Amino acid sequence: MNPRFSLAFAWYYGFRTIKRGPSYVIASLSSPLTLLFLIYIISKGELIKYAVVGGFLGLVASVSFASVADAAFLRIQLRIQDLFVATSISPTDYILGLTLSYIIFSMPGIILYAIIGALIHIFTLESIIALVLLLVILTVSTAGLSMTIGGAVNHIRNVWGISAIMSVVLTVLPPTFYPYSYLPKYIIYILAISPTTPAAVLAQGFFGFEPIMYTMIPIMLVEMVFFFALARFFTRWREN
Amino acid sequence: MLSTENLSKTYKGGIKALDSVTLTVDKRLVAFIGRNGAGKTTLLRILSTQLKPSSGTANVAGYDILKQPDQIRRKIVSIPQEASTLGVLTPMEHMKLYLIARGFSVLQANEESLRALRELEMYDARNRPSDTLSGGMKRKVFVAMALAANDEITFLDEPTTGLDPVSRFEVWAAIKNLSGNIVLTTHYMEEAQELAEEVILVEAGKILEKGPVKELLRRFDGKVRVESILPGSGDYQIGRTYVKYVKQEDAEDFVKKGYNVRRITLDDLFIVRGVTIEP
């Protein structure tokens, strides 16, 4: 393990990128903010608290899902991964570096949502702690899933479509921006295939909007371990 | 420094990139030379542990590429042919990130990056986002990484492809300054002649010849190459040009007959084997 590399990668690839290319931040914010606006209008403000909490999760998930394209671009187009293969860093260091970068990419959006959340008084100390934990676990799961898929892609032209589909289907379809109680229970379990679903269901529970669905805790933890392990073993580090 | 035994690589779809390559390399600066698709990059990627061979094995710095890749990775620097800079990062940031990946402390990485960038005359550009740099400057960032890492073996895959002549000379000078062993690939004959103590000619996944440039060219001693566009006027045909090798003292007669006379280069090793090289 080379945590210094992971941190340096996150600093240079995450922080420097958003500092010098703020359009990336605006792009990642555009979809959750649009949904927030629509939900506010359609529900006449009633579901705004769901949309704000969902916005945190949707933002983190969509940034990570967009990383399918990132991971493939770095490997296929820029050959950056090849450069690092011939060093002593491991695939885990590289994946951690990328994951930390995505957390940094999400930070401006998280700050914006925190301000909105504070304005509509949805936070308690417990709910903030729960939300932070959920965001970290969700980032690891979604980044792992994205890097596994990004690592399997052979041609860069295929990757942009996959990333867009994943971002919409796995972020908007789950009960991220609406109450999970709108859905039959079996549908929630089917949707739990996306790490965004257990995160959203639990967040709604911890914020007191809906009853806490405890079965989602093991599902979320198992998905985190599973998707990270998948990325660790299936990231094409040394090619065949 | 390195050796291979019956090293072969067949890609999906049946493309055979390397065909039972067995060789030993012990000179400090070695160049694999051949046209595009000859198998040079595949060989370099296998030796630098980026790619697994289909069969055979190789030893690099005393370690087996299949059984001990981690030990090899601590002793080599490998700069891929198509590596590109991340547009928003500066040369200094690229260098520091790479050196930290190689186990340098942040302070060491900073010092070594500055030293290498100064040596390659890139100091003034050290804090410019790399998408504002020329193609040559971007390529030099990667050579600077190798220079700063200063490890036992440096693999450089076509380090000067796409560079203008001035940048190419600068990169050559930098490569000569690298302290360890260097293995590079190129399809520029003059690059191999300028840099390498030993050249290895690669074609269709096989090693054609290997040796110091002077030794390989000995068969042409006292000869020059004469070229004509008239059909049947040469022993070898390269596109629309016909080539033959004649004694130096006869060259003037051939000039009078309308032939062009060229001095012997590494190109001629490929020509006599019927391999068309790129201009």
Mean pLDDT of B105-130: 93
Range of the domain at A199: 3-234
Mean pLDDT of A41-56: 91
Q: In degrees to the nearest 10, what's the CA dihedral of B182, B100, B66, A73?
A: -100
Across the interface, do A88 and B50 touch by the CB < 8 Å criterion?
A: no
CA distance A5 to chain B (A): 5
Q: Supply B188's token pair.
A: 């520029």
What pLDDT band is residue A32 in, cutting at 50, 70 and 90? confident
Of the candidates A12, A86, A88, the beta carbon closest to that of B50 is on: A86
**Residues of chain B neighbouring A156 (CB-CB closer than 8 A):** none
Q: In whole numbers, what is the pLDDT of chain A averaged over residues?
A: 88
A18 or A178: whose pLDDT is higher?
Answer: A178
Reading phi first (left if > 0) and then psi (alpha if -120 to 50, else beta), residue B162 is in left
Across the interface, do B51 and A16 touch by the CB < 8 Å criterion?
A: no
Mean pLDDT of A20-41: 81
Owner of token pair 């702690």: A129
Pairing relation of β-strands B198-203 and B181-186?
Answer: unpaired
A164 or A40: whose pLDDT is higher?
Answer: A40
Across the interface, do B88 and A8 touch by the CB < 8 Å criterion?
A: no
Q: Which residues contact A91 (CB under 8 A, 6 or more apart)?
A: A231, A232, A235, A237
CA–CA distance, B153 with B180 (Å, rounded to integer): 6
Confidence (pLDDT) at A234: 77
What's the farthest any 2 CA atoms get from each other in chain B? Answer: 67
Amino acid present at B251: A
Q: Is the pLDDT of residue B278 over 70?
A: no
- Is residue A29 included in any domain, yes or no? yes
CA–CA distance, A100 with B87 (Å, rounded to integer): 20
Confidence (pLDDT) at A99: 85
ipTM over cut 0.95 = no
DSSP bridge pairs for B23: B4
Which among B7, B18, B47, B37 has a CA at the least distance from the CA of B183?
Answer: B47
Q: Supply B78's token pair.
A: 């490998």
Q: Which residues contact B12 (CB under 8 A, 6 or more apart)?
A: none
Helix axis angle, A91-119 relative to A125-152, nearest 10°?
140
Query: Does B148 contact chain A (CB < 8 Å)?
Result: no
Task: Answer whether A99's CB lies under 8 Å from A143's CB.
Answer: yes
- Is residue A240 included in any domain, yes or no? no
Residue A138: C-alpha distances to residues A32, A125, A166, A235 (Å) = 16, 20, 15, 19
A175 or A35: whose pLDDT is higher?
Answer: A175
Mean pLDDT of B82-104: 91
State how many domains chain A has. 1
Contacts A–B by Cβ distance under 8 A: 91
CA distance B77 to chain A (A): 7
Task: Answer whether B144's CB lies under 8 Å from B90's CB.
Answer: no
Which among A233, A179, A215, A169 has a CA at the least distance from the CA of A49?
Answer: A179
The vertex-B149 CA angle with B18 and B199, nearest 5°, equals 35
Strands in chain A per DSSP E: none
Of the candidates B70, B88, B93, the beta carbon closest to that of A21 is on: B88
Q: Is the pLDDT of residue A126 over 50?
A: yes
Q: Supply A76's token pair.
A: 């296929």
CA distance A3 to chain B (A): 10
- Is residue A239 included in any domain, yes or no? no
Mean pLDDT of A118-135: 94
Mean pLDDT of B264-269: 85
Buried/exposed B203-240: b ≥16 CB within 10 Å, e otherwise: bebebbbbbebeebbeebeebbbbbbeeeebbebebee
**Residues of chain B neighbouring A79 (CB-CB closer than 8 A):** 80-84
Q: Supply B258's token pair.
A: 């309308």
Across the interface, do A82 and B83 touch by the CB < 8 Å criterion?
A: yes
**Residues of chain A neighbouring B76 (CB-CB closer than 8 A):** 86
- Is residue A23 included in any domain, yes or no? yes
Query: Does B86 contact chain A (CB < 8 Å)?
Result: yes
Confidence (pLDDT) at A102: 84
Residue B84: C-alpha distances to residues A9, B128, B142, B187, B239 (Å) = 16, 15, 9, 20, 34
Owner of token pair 């998905």: A223
B151-163 pLDDT per residue, tens: 899 999 988 887 7
CA–CA distance, A17 with A86 (Å, rounded to integer): 25
Confidence (pLDDT) at A21: 77
Burial, A126: exposed, middle or buried (Cβ in 10 Å; 0-12, 13-18, 19+)? exposed
Phi and psi torsions of B55, nearest 5°: -155, 170
Could you tell me which chain B residue has the CA closest to the CA of A8? B97
What pLDDT band is residue B279 in, cutting at 50, 70 and 90? very low
B178-197 pLDDT per residue, tens: 888 999 998 888 888 889 99
What pLDDT band is residue A106 in, cutting at 50, 70 and 90? confident
Q: Supply A138's token pair.
A: 């969700």
Across the interface, do B78 and A9 touch by the CB < 8 Å criterion?
A: no
Domains annotated on chain B, with CATH: 2-211 (3.40.50.300), 217-271 (no CATH)
**Residues of chain B neighbouring A82 (CB-CB closer than 8 A):** 45, 50, 78, 80, 83
Across the interface, do A82 and B78 touch by the CB < 8 Å criterion?
A: yes
State the distance between the two ends of chain B, measured CA to CA, in whole angstroms.
Answer: 32
Neighbours of B7 (CB within 10 A): 25
Of the candidates A5, A13, A239, the beta carbon closest to that of B100 is on: A5
Across the interface, do B102 and A20 touch by the CB < 8 Å criterion?
A: no
